[in-house]
Homo-oligomer: A and B are copies of this chain.
Amino acid sequence: MNRGYPEILEQLIDFFQKFPGVGEKSAERMALSILKLPTEEIEIASDVLVKAKKTLHPCPVCGNLTDMETCNVCTDSSRNQNLICVVEDYKSAFAFEKAQNYRGVYHVLNGLISPMDDIGADDINLDSLIKRVETLENPELVLALKSSMEGETTTLYIKKIFEGKNVKISRLSYGLPLGAEIDYLDTTTLDKAIEDRKQISE
């Protein structure tokens, strides 16, 4: 689309508009703002863009995003390789890493089972989870999937796969987010928080 800008600027705006949540106005603002950045920074960023695209790939063990052969969580011997946190996508895994408390490893499904969207168990990264668990001595899975229809379907499916196979399985607790005002919470979360209540008396 021609907006009356110089051609090279049009191309840059078109590129920025490909990003999620970036509309025409924001893309224009971003493109114009590169005029204020030092040329050296732009050159570095230009290289980083191509390098990131070329080197980032799923870890062959856990499916998480990495720029190394195997990701740094899977190769970290200080982490419990028998405790696998099963997540929907990269972002969830990185969210746990940011919290910095979890010392097990991950398995990224890259999707959830969703009959509505024609996504079955074969379409997500489950086969490699089954094979991976078979190689472990005392495997434990923490299913960290969201509490949607798709998340719960996938949780149930994984639970079934490993039934009778001596695999300890848990899911994240549902409940109040820390600091939340109770009267602002949706009723489903409140119901779950009562259902999952934790005894604190002896």
Contact = CB atoms under 8 A, between A and B. Distances in A.
B20 A33 contact: yes
Interface pairs A-B: 8 shortest CB-CB: A4-B97, A6-B67, A15-B45, A42-B53, A46-B46, A19-B30, A8-B52, A46-B49
B49 A45 contact: yes
A161 interface: no
Contacts of A66: 6
Interface string A111-145: 00000000000000000000000000000000000
A24 to B, nearest CB: 11
Interface of A: 3-9, 11-12, 15, 18-22, 26, 28-35, 37, 39, 41-56, 65-68, 71, 90-91, 94, 97-98, 100
Given A20-B33, A32-B91, A33-B20, A49 B42 contact: yes
Given A6-B68, A91-B32, A37 B12 contact: no
B91 A52 contact: no
